[in-house]
Structure 1
Amino acid sequence: MSTTVATTAKPRLKTSAMIASFADPGQKTAPAPFGHALVKAAQENDKIVGLTADLGKYTDMHIFAQAYPERFFQMGMAEQLLFGAAAGMAQTGLIPFASTYSVFAARRAYDFLCLDAAEPNLNVNIVGGLPGLTTGYGPSHQATEDMAIFRGMPNLTIVDPCDSVDIEQAVPQLAASEGPTYLRLLRGNVPTVLDEYGYTFELGKAKVLRDGADVVLVSSGLMTMRALQAAKDLAVHNVDVAVVHTPTIKPFDAETVLTEINTDRLIVTLENHTVIGGLFETVAAEVVKAGLGKRIVPIALPDEFLHAGALPTLHERYGLSLDRIINTVLSELEV
């Protein structure tokens, strides 16, 4: 006699490989927040111009191009030319926002950005799409080390936004700031998360989104969304979690972050970036300089070239998924 056990098939995780969304099903989102924010900023400042390297649709720059065709410049597949031209425009007093994929900005055009924009400290705003692990197209398009590359560039401000709120509020502040900036763009239908926490973006400032007695999660980018989700789910395990959002990676708000981690709580950093040269090492360096002697647990991408595939599968594989975050925190608390 044989017995058949009925099982419920788990739905297969699927996304488009190139333009993949990290929004959860049914989650509140905003369409193309960067493009709409740039149009709004341009309405108030006629010096703002937009440029792209054949990627207007895929960096939400097409919204600006439709609104201000006379202030939009399509540079073709030539990233060095893109940023060299943007620097020239900035030299004349214009405020350029130049978009491409993060890998092409960081790897292909670094020298032009460094010498044409950063050295003369011009207001050139670099808008990088597909930062970290936000595409399934593999190492050619996964900008897993972009912050590590750019952190060493003098004068450059680096912003890693969590959601549509961050992006919408960051754009006018980047336009008004001195010197070059790099925005790790989240494009398409971007989750809206921070509106529930009384949050406002301030360039150069970290914000404590929630308090907690047991764990401090220090996060940036889309990982702040995951940190907030993990904090709610960990409450079921009687774990009280604080979340500190650090949207500006450089200059870094060490004062706010160190105040929060100088306690007996477990400290975990979360970032959509390689463990080398990003948020974890930024926080660790500030801890060492302050002489705090704290242990920090990193949740980050490994120091390796990643596989291609469906985005949810890759996030699970490389430790960025909600389940992996929760398991990491619980395992650390058991030590």
Structure 2
Amino acid sequence: MTKIQKGAMRDRFSKVILELAEKDARVYAVDGDLANSTKTDVVANQKPEKFLQMGIAEQNMLSVCSGLASTGLQPWAVTFAAFLSKRALDQIQVQIAQPRLDVKMVGAYSGLLTGLTGKTHQALEDIAIFRTLANMVVIAPADNVEVEKAMRAANDYDGPVYIRLARDEYPYLFAEDYDFKIGRAVTLKEGTDVSVIATGTQTSRTLEAAKQLADEGISVEVVHMPTIKPLDEAAILATAQKTNLVVTAEEHSILGGLGSAVAEVLGEQHPTKMLRIGVEDRNAESAPNEQLLEKYGLSVSCMVRKIKDFYNKA
């Protein structure tokens, strides 16, 4: 059996943020006292003049980033997604999003799987929060390669960007020459019976579920949606018109995230029967990864069961 290559997003992130800090005079890494966990400590250690430590003070950190950006610099604010999206929301909205400043925000430890930290550190609402902000780009990469491509695209983009990263290792889905573009979806598997539109970490689990469903005679089309805002509406409509059954999958609340975004597009332009796979309207808890995925319905086996039931009842 061929071993599946995996990698931690934060490891690729640390490589790229150091390179950007070294080569781009505008780039500064701005940390909220989590550099060891997010891996921004590589900048602190190797390019200390480009590293700013703000401490456990996220509101101040984003205000500082606003000031830096107003002078022509490009600060990268890095902390856990739960803290970035909720503790500093007012500063992000008023001081960064409204004036459309060139601040890059990286939410590490997103979703359910945050290393046994529990509900205080889990971010199940960050996509919903950031996609409501005018002028904001929202990206949820699926693997290490896409992390790098998204970071380079963000570096080239003039305006606020939120990038959602996971803590643990995930399978490589893309080759190193993958051509990532902000606002463009990627069809990873063609299918005819049901479409699954997935984002971020849930995309690899979706592909595995699609393989198992194929063995049961259900042809699943898998569309990876790395950019939740701006959304690739054409890709959504194309796959919906092809199968007339759409499932969304995300390691996030089903309220306000990818599922809601896709439902908005289909509701307005091509009403289609839908199923949203994500965390229901509840808080999660601390537990090992596989137990969390199973309890909150995001494991491969849960996805197989839910998609099969949805397809058979359609």
TM-score by structure 1 length?
0.88
Residue 155 of structure 2 corresponds to which residue in structure 1?
175
Residue 159 of structure 1 corresponds to which residue in structure 2?
139
Residue 322 of structure 1 corresponds to which residue in structure 2?
300
**Which residue type is aligned with residue 79 of structure 2?**
T
After the TM superposition, which residues 75-114 of structure 1 pair with which residues of structure 2 at under 5 Å, given as runs?
75-114=54-93
After the TM superposition, which residues 9-28 of structure 1 pair with which residues of structure 2 at under 5 Å, given as runs?
27-28=4-5
Is 2:312 aligned against 1:334? yes
Aligned equivalents of 1:86 and 1:43: distance in 2?
19
After the TM superposition, which residues 1-335 of structure 1 pair with which residues of structure 2 at under 5 Å, given as runs?
27-31=4-8, 32-135=11-114, 136-187=116-167, 189-195=169-175, 199-290=178-269, 292-335=270-313
For structure 1, which segment, 275-284 or 169-178, has the greater mean C-alpha deviation from structure 2 after superposition? 169-178
Q: Which consecutive residues of structure 2, in runs of 5 or more, have no partner in the other structure?
A: none
C-alpha RMSD over aligned residues: 1.7
Aligned equivalents of 2:168 and 2:250: distance in 1?
20
Aligned equivalents of 2:75 and 2:205: distance in 1?
32
**Which residue type is aligned with residue 286 of structure 2?**
A
Aligned equivalents of 2:161 and 2:202: distance in 1?
21
Aligned equivalents of 1:51 and 1:187: distance in 2?
19
SS of equivalent to 1:116: helix
Give the superposition deviation at 1:66: 2.4
Give the superposition deviation at 1:83: 0.7
SS of equivalent to 2:133: coil
Q: Using a 3 Å threshold, how does the CA distance of structure 1 residues 293 and 246 change in structure 2: closer, same or farther? A: same
Aligned equivalents of 1:203 and 1:318: distance in 2?
30
Aligned equivalents of 2:265 and 2:245: distance in 1?
17
Q: Using a 3 Å threshold, how does the CA distance of structure 1 residues 66 and 27 change in structure 2: closer, same or farther? A: farther
**Residues 178-198 of structure 1: CA distance to partner in whole angstroms, max 9, x if unpaired?**
2111111124644322239x7
Q: Using a 3 Å threshold, how does the CA distance of structure 1 residues 161 and 275 change in structure 2: closer, same or farther? A: same
**Which residue type is aligned with residue 44 of structure 1?**
K
Aligned equivalents of 2:144 and 2:249: distance in 1?
19
Give the superposition deviation at 1:87: 1.1
Identical amino acids, percent of aligned pairs = 34
**Which residue type is aligned with residue 231 of structure 2?**
F
Structure with larger Rg: 1
Give the superposition deviation at 1:265: 4.2
Q: Which consecutive residues of structure 1, in runs of 5 or more, have no partner in the other structure?
A: 1-25
How many residue pairs align between the two structures?
309
Aligned equivalents of 1:224 and 1:278: distance in 2?
15
Aligned equivalents of 1:69 and 1:187: distance in 2?
24
Aligned equivalents of 1:100 and 1:33: distance in 2?
16
TM-score by structure 2 length?
0.94
SS of equivalent to 2:38: coil
Question: Structure with the greater relative contact order (CA < 8 A, sep ≥ 6): 1 or 2?
Answer: 1
Give the superposition deviation at 1:75: 0.8
Give the superposition deviation at 1:85: 0.7
- 8 Å Cα contact 2:22-2:47 kept in structure 1: no
